[in-house]
Amino acid sequence: MTDSLARDLGPALHRVARDGVAHEPGVIPEALRRDVLAELDAERYVALPAVEGPHRVRQEGEHLVLVGDEITSRPAVHALHRAVVAAIAPQVPEWQPDEVTVQRYAPGSSGISTHLDGRRHRYLVAILTLEGAATLRHCTDREGTTAQAWDADAGSLVLLRGPGLDGISDGRPLHAVDGPRERRRTSLTLRATPPRDVTSRG
Ligand SMILES: O=C(O)CCC(=O)C(=O)O
Ligand SMILES: [Fe+2]
């Protein structure tokens, strides 16, 4: 199975370190994109909580979280994971994503309102769009004032800056994703999580 991406991520990695968010279209090879979608079709998705966290982030969609052998036992998901890690390793070898989240948004849904991803997800968050399209916004405040917006469409990648990238202790960007308009959008996000025994022991 293909294990390289369709585009060099060097320029996008430069932009994410500088700006906090970078968008790169046409990253996922078509055959791999279709294989991942086919593999994920039969999965059981769970509705996202409508409101999450102290900032009351609003969410409308469904998700599935894969870790460990739930990733390696799915050949297409695993191939995409390997391809993204291989493309990023020359610049950010520290990033070792161990969690895959698949999210599906129905047409007309509201997506996810302005938020920061968790501080524990170090270096990078990589959001790949497997099908459909929606506007992803880089915001300057929690009210959702938009600094820049991109079309997160099929095959594209959005990188978000995580703590530790380029020596910046915490440069996480506020961002939001709209719901898709005409057809379902499915995204697949790679994040690194800290080893379990790093958490406090009371
Ligand atoms: O589906 C996406 O585009 C990712 C949305 C997002 O920001 C998140 O899941 O934290
Ligand atoms: Fe996010």
Name the residue of 21, 55, 175, 177 to mutate for ligand 1: max ligand atoms within 8 A of Cβ: 177
Distance from the alpha carbon of residue 174 to the mean position of ligand 2, in angstroms: 8
**Domains of the chain in sequence order:** 10-193 (2.60.120.620)
Distance from the alpha carbon of residue 31 to the mean position of ligand 2, in angstroms: 27
Q: Which ligand is nearest to the CA of 153?
A: 1
ipTM value greater than 0.95: yes
Distance from the alpha carbon of residue 59 to the mean position of ligand 1, in angstroms: 10
Q: For residue range 143-185, what is the model confidence (pLDDT) as tens digits?
A: 999 999 999 999 999 999 999 999 999 999 999 999 999 999 9
- For residue 192, give both structure tokens: 């690194």
Give the residues surrounding ligand 1 with Cβ less than 6 Å away.
103, 112, 117, 127, 136, 152, 175, 177, 187, 189
Whether the CB-CB separation of 159 and 172 falls below 8 Å is answered with no
Distance from the alpha carbon of residue 89 to the mean position of ligand 2, in angstroms: 22
Residues in the 5 Å CB sphere of ion ligand 2: 117
Instruction: Please check the confidence at residue 198 and state whether its pLDDT lies above 70.
Output: no
Q: Which ligand is nearest to the CA of 111?
A: 1
Mean pLDDT of 91-115: 98
Pairing status of strand 157-161 against strand 124-131: antiparallel
pLDDT tier for residue 201 given thresholds of 50, 70 and 90: low
Cα–Cα dist 189/191, whole Å: 7
Looking from the CA of 6 toward its CB, the CA atoms found within 13 Å total 14
Whether the CB-CB separation of 72 and 78 falls below 8 Å is answered with yes
Whether the CB-CB separation of 128 and 157 falls below 8 Å is answered with yes
Cα–Cα dist 99/126, whole Å: 11
| pLDDT-above-70 percentage for the chain | 96
Most distant CA atoms of the chain, gap in Å: 49
Q: Which ligand is nearest to the CA of 158?
A: 1
pTM: 0.96
Q: Give the residue among 41, 9, 32 at the shortest CA–CA distance from 80.
A: 32
Residue nearest to atom 1 of ligand 1 (CA): 187
Mean pLDDT of 90-103: 98
